[in-house]
A and B are shown apart, each in its own frame.
Chain A
Amino acid sequence: MTVVPLADAGPTCGGKAHGLAVLMRAGLPVPDGFVVVDPADDPAEIAAHLGRLRGPAVAVRSSGLAEDSAAASFAGQLETVLGARSPAEVLTAIRRCAASAGSDRVRGYRSRLGLDDEDAVSVIVQELVAADRAGVLFTRDPRTGADAVVINASWGLGESVVSGAVAPDEAVVTAPADTVRVVVGAKQTRLDLTADGLARTPVPPTDRTRPCLTPDEVHRLVALGRRCAELAGRPQDVEWAIDGDRIWLLQSRPITTLGGPVGRALASPLVTGAPGGSGRATGPARLVRSVDDFARVQPGDVLVCRTTDPAWTPLFRLAAAVVTESGGVLSHAAIVAREFGLPAVVGADQAMAKLTDGTPITVDGFAGTITEGSH
Chain B
Amino acid sequence: MSKPIYEIVDELPTSGMTVTLLKSLDFVVPGQWQNITGFDNTIRVVTGETDEQMIQQIGERAIQLYNDKSQGYQTALWIYDAVGKGSGALGAAALANKFGENFSFLSFLNRLTPKADTAQAIDLSVKLVAEIVAYCKINGIPGDSIGEFVSALADYSGESLMRMATLVSVDALLPLGPDFIEKVGSTIGGLTTDELQKNQTFDQINNEIPGGDTSSKLGFIGESFRSVSNWMGSFVSSRNLTQESVASNLKKYIDITDNKLDYVSAFLDMTTNYYEHTGVQTLARRLTERAVAEI
Q: Do A and B bind each other?
A: no
Residues of A within 8 A of B (CB): none
Residues of B within 8 A of A (CB): none
